[in-house]
Amino acid sequence: MTKYVVHAGAVLHLASADRAPAHGHQLLAPTLLRSQTLSLLHEAVHRGELTSDAARDQLARIGRLPIRLLGDAVLRRRAWELADQLGWPTTYDAEYLALTQLQADAFVTLDDKLARKVRDVVRVASIDDVVPPARGAKRGPRGRP
């Protein structure tokens, strides 16, 4: 079984596309994922990018995704250390990295800038590694749509 830590943006992508992880994959995230996805969806409504009903529907889909949320003292301590090591003022993204180091095989983010910053700290995977291609999607080189 491959374990992936999924960043908030990747979770929003899964929910908006109504996609689930491929068989044999387990999704993990720090407990702060709940607050981050709630806030990101509320911000999108505030900017007029989503209706309130659409955002609430995505929240419901996120709640149905099989994501194991973790946040023990060991994870928090490691996140603090990683934030210090990387020179970050906050520990939010560091919690995802800490969880990846402690319990997962790879970190999945749609944030290219973040992915570049952390590729020497954790293995970074693509969202395409986590979910099977959508039905009817044309497959390109290396089996990707």
pLDDT along the chain (145 residues), means of 10: 97 90 94 98 98 97 96 98 98 98 98 97 96 61 40
Report pLDDT for 137.
Answer: 52
Topology of domain 2-132 in CATH is Rossmann fold (3.40.50)
Q: How far is CA 102 from CA 24, 31, 117, 118, in A?
A: 19, 15, 19, 15
User: Where exactly are the structural domains of the chain?
Assistant: 2-132
Q: How far is residue 34 CA from its own chain's centroid?
A: 11
- Tokens, residue 42: 């509320």
Give the pLDDT confidence score for residue 134 in this predicted structure.
Answer: 67
